[in-house]
Amino acid sequence: MSKLDSEPRAWNNVGDFYAGRSVFITGASGFLGKVLIEKLLHDCPKVKNIYALLRTKGSVPAQARLTQLLESRAFDRIRRIQPSLFKKVKVIRGDTTFEALGISASDLEILKKDVSIVVHSAATIRFDEPLKRATRINVTATKRVLELALQLKDLKAFVHVSTAYCNQTKINIKESVYPELLTPEKLMSLSDDLNDEMLESLTPHLFGNRPSSYHYTKAMAENLVKSYTDRVPVGIVRPSIITASLNDPMPGWIDNYNGPSGYLVVAGAGILRAMLVDGEKICDAIPVDIVANTIITTAWHVSNRHQAQKRRTEEGKSKEVTPSSSKVTEPFVVNCISGQINPITWEEIRSLSHPWLVKYPPTQIFRYPGPYFVSNKTLHKLLVGLEHDLPTYVIDLLFKALGHSPMLGPIYQKVHRTTMALEYFTKNEWIYRTENFQALNNSLSSEDKRRFVIDVKKIDWRKYMENYVLGVRHYLLNEDPNSIEAAKTKLDLLYYGTQATKVSVAGISAYVAYKIISWRRNMRN
């Protein structure tokens, strides 16, 4: 029996915990946020309200953005099964970068009285974000959400969404918060006092081996969350590379080009031909619905843990005995990863996806799919020159001659920027401890295990990659399923045309070589 199993619970079932309670979510408009809301509506239908913090974006007000959010295809089954559930999702106008989150006094009163669970998922995930801005969005905003949580009259759980990659400086990453050189308060103070240039000059000393401000500020946010543990029932969920859904809201659902999703787009179109990857390294992919389920169940566990601690404290007081610990001092941290439980390597991502990219090709195809994964930089440069740069030069030269703007150059510039940003993750891997993650799964009832799948062992990567490729085609590229056969015909023609070209080039090369050898022989004679 795990430690989690042995703890007495106020709520045995996850659904019972959420029944009649309201949830406040930041980052609701993101990929994970949509799935989290959908899962709460579908599998915790007795949830009272879901408050989404949304800001005005451009000319689109917060309420209109909520309408757009709920029009996402992520909510197709809610629309089909019980559309009345949408009434539970309400907008809170605000912005995490504003003082007090920019929430109005009237909305704040509503939250104080009604909200019991807080999920803080909002963050900037840009790797090239200046440290000042990354600190404001990832650290200062976290403090503001924590301060809001302190004002809630019936707070049961606060779940902070972090990243598995905020502690790459460690060899064996535990499910605990690691201290940093600076305190979060000191970083926020420096960010306020120093200009961008001065703050950036400190990054070599602050980041360590971390590749970006994103990873550093997420680690600092964890330390900030930890400092509130004695006042707030806290959980931290650290997902690795969030990928298309395993089951919910439907298999293969995806709405962004991050990580393997972008790879499947450019590889499927035949654009990407060479990528600097150590194919034997683990691609720590984690389906988005497993992450959402982990957040939902972590809040349930954190609240149970907090209630159990309160009971122990009260029992100690009634017996006039000082309990061993009257307060929880460490947040409940979950490394939400697949690598140490059910690993898939980068080479397996390539090899398992290739048959499906051929079976379900996009309608817009540049070349037959066939990317090379190489770990040698020199070989990679050679392949990029032959497979990317040379075709780009020839085709864009032709476009210019016909009076058109270059087509391939801008595409490959974006592809190269993206793949370069991923190199740190495609050439390295990390070892994670997962005791809490696996114990959390074991603590669920059989019904909750079915509703809130967090068991990574259940992923069949071959089937998952088929659904992923179909999801990219259907949800990301918005291609009609009925267009698959026409696309396959086009791909076949492209394949045979490519093979014929290769044979022709080989034949011409052999003929030229033969003529050169014959000429040299004649010259000698």
pLDDT tens by residue, 459-488: 999 999 999 999 999 999 999 999 999 999
Which pLDDT band, with edges at 50, 70 and 90, does 1 fall under? very low
Alpha-carbon span 458 to 446, nearest angstrom: 14
Indicate the average pLDDT of the chain.
92
Which residue is it, tokens 């590749």? 211
DSSP three-state, residue 332? strand
Supply the pLDDT for residue 61.
96
| Distance, CA of 398 to chain centre | 39
Supply the pLDDT for residue 175.
98
Average pLDDT over residues 66-86: 97
Alpha-carbon span 107 to 109, nearest angstrom: 5
DSSP three-state, residue 234? strand
Region label for 252, one of left (φ > 0), alpha (ψ between -120 and 50) or beta (otherwise): left
Supply the pLDDT for residue 103.
98
Alpha-carbon span 198 to 83, nearest angstrom: 52
| Confidence check: pLDDT of 3 > 60 | no
Average pLDDT over residues 406-427: 90
Residues 244 and 252: beta-carbon distance below 8 Å: yes
Which pLDDT band, with edges at 50, 70 and 90, does 126 fall under? confident
Which pLDDT band, with edges at 50, 70 and 90, does 318 fall under? low
The 3-state secondary structure of 341-390 reads: CCCCEHHHHHHHHHHHHHHCCCCCCCCCCCCEEECCHHHHHHHHHHHHHH
Which pLDDT band, with edges at 50, 70 and 90, does 502 fall under? low
> What's the length of the chain?
525
Supply the pLDDT for residue 7.
55
Output the CA torsion sign for 443, 238, 10, 1.
positive
Region label for 58, one of left (φ > 0), alpha (ψ between -120 and 50) or beta (otherwise): left
Q: Which of 3.40.50.720, 3.40.50.2300, 3.30.870.10, 3.30.2290.10 would CATH assign to domain 3-254+282-343+430-455?
A: 3.40.50.720
Residues 448 and 299: beta-carbon distance below 8 Å: no
Please give the share of the chain, as a percent, with pLDDT higher than 90.
76
DSSP 386: I
CA 493-497-500 angle, to 5 degrees, is: 140
Alpha-carbon span 206 to 49, nearest angstrom: 41
Give the up-direction half-sphere exposure of residue 408: CA atoms within 13 A in the CB hemisphere.
21
Give the model confidence (pLDDT) of 45-74 as tens digits: 999 999 999 999 999 999 999 999 999 999
Tokens of 429: 């891997």
| Confidence check: pLDDT of 323 > 50 | no
Average pLDDT over residues 197-203: 89
Supply the pLDDT for residue 324.
47
Supply the pLDDT for residue 508.
76
Average pLDDT over residues 111-124: 97
Question: Per-residue b/e over 18-38, b at no fewer than 16 CB within 10 Å?
Answer: beebbbbbbbbbbbbbbbbbb
Which residue is it, tokens 């149970």? 304
**Amino acid, res. 246:** L
| Confidence check: pLDDT of 11 > 70 | no
